[in-house]
Amino acid sequence: MYDAKADLPPELRQQLLDHYLGTLGQFIKPDRDGFLHYYYSYVYVRILQALGAYGFRGFYERKVHFLESVPYALKNVRWLLHNVTLPIELPTLLEAFNSMLGSEKLRNLASDADSLVVRVFSFSFHRGWPKDETGNGGGFVFDGRSLPNPGREERFKTLTGKDAPVIEYLNQQDSVHQFLANVLSLVDASVREYQRRGFKNLMVAFGCTGGQHRSVYLAEQLAKRLRGQSGVEVVVRHRELERGSE
């Protein structure tokens, strides 16, 4: 089965194809020219199947790790368009592939494929932990409920951890600074190791009672620390705040 993620140079692809045909020749005598006449049509079909699966799982089911395979599939499409002539004319199909190669959205996926994506969440423990959409099943979950709670003071009840008065209040707490220092040390070490090993996704979640003040503040502080680091893309989600705006 053709693997759209296989990032092989053309000469190695040809060697593999020759090897498979040679192995097949031990059992039957294939018509090599006839086989190759139609072979790349099936390669196109396989790429279409893979892109459809990757796109559906990634864009619609939001399992974003599937999108990491799209740039490799498009790289193979580009090679096919420049090196292969199909046995029949399929202008609409080839136009669709050329449109994919010209898509800014898909090009951005290609540029992001070499980055470590750090997803930072804030949430309320009453509603359970955030779901890991990448399929990795790992990351950090930090409990901010031990920190002073701005939500207990009337002046902060309608505000969030993104508002200046709440930020100022938490910045004045020594326990918050110590908590953040420990978090940043752990996350920084993981980011370096993930990049070294070529991992693509890391999830960091901060929970508190209501998911409005402390967890939001902590998530924003971590995101601020990570933004601008080479090879790191930061995605921030404030789950309870988003639910409140629906």
* Strand, helix or coil for residue 237: strand
| Cα 13 from Cα 75, distance rounded (Å) | 14
Out of 76-80, 121-125, 196-200, give the one with best mean pLDDT.
Answer: 121-125
Report the 10 Å Cβ neighbour count for 149.
17
pLDDT for 99:
85
Residues 6+ apart with CB under 8 A from 232: 115, 116, 118, 191, 195, 226
Asked whether residue 50 carries a pLDDT value surpassing 60, the answer given is yes
Q: What are the pLDDT digits (tens) for 12-39?
A: 777 888 888 889 889 998 888 888 888 8
pLDDT tens across 148-199, in order?
999 999 999 999 999 999 999 999 999 999 999 999 999 999 999 998 888 8
C-alpha to C-alpha distance for 141 and 152, rounded to whole angstroms: 23
The first and second tokens of residue 158, run together, are 């309608």
Location of structure tokens 């368009």:
81
Domain boundaries, the chain: 10-112, 116-244
pLDDT tier, 246 (very low <50, low <70, confident <90, very high otherwise): very low
CA nearest to 54, candidates 38, 76, 83? 76
Indicate the DSSP class of residue 131: P
**Whole-angstrom distance, CA of residue 209 vs CA of residue 157:** 13
Closest CA to 69 of 46, 94, 97, 50: 50
Question: What distance in Å separates the CA atoms of residue 190 and residue 136, rounded to the nearest whole number?
Answer: 14
